[in-house]
Amino acid sequence: MTRDKFRLFVGFALSGSTVKRALKVACIVTPILTIFNHAHEIIALDMGPRFFLQVGLTFCVPYMVSTYSSAMTEVKNAGTLGGLNP
């Protein structure tokens, strides 16, 4: 990835629409992953600091995947529309 593409990527990744979309995705996917991965702890009501740290890290995964996907799509579109030299 060239420096120009990287700067464009970071700009798109930090844009309000990308952040908003990624937060929505993470807020939907995180509870599902948490139930799949930690059902035994939830049922036993054994949710200490380690549990919440793991849930926080679980939130980061769909957030980052959504952010990456959205930003890369925008970078590709910018190149297609002539906004970036290929």
C-alpha pair distances (Å), 30 with each of 16, 20, 33:
21, 15, 5
CA atoms within 13 A on the CB side of 32: 7
Check whether 83 has a pLDDT greater than 70: no
Any residues with CB less than 8 A from the CB of 21 and at least 6 apart, and which?
66, 70
pLDDT class for 82, splitting at 50, 70, 90? low
Q: What is the pLDDT of residues 50-66, one digit of tens each?
A: 999 999 999 999 999 99
Q: What is the pLDDT of residue 79?
A: 77
The band of 81, judged by pLDDT with boundaries at 50, 70 and 90, is low
Q: The tokens 């993470």 sit on which residue?
A: 26
pTM tops 0.85, yes or no = no
Packing angle, helices 49-80 and 16-43, rounded to 10:
150
pLDDT at 78 over 70: yes
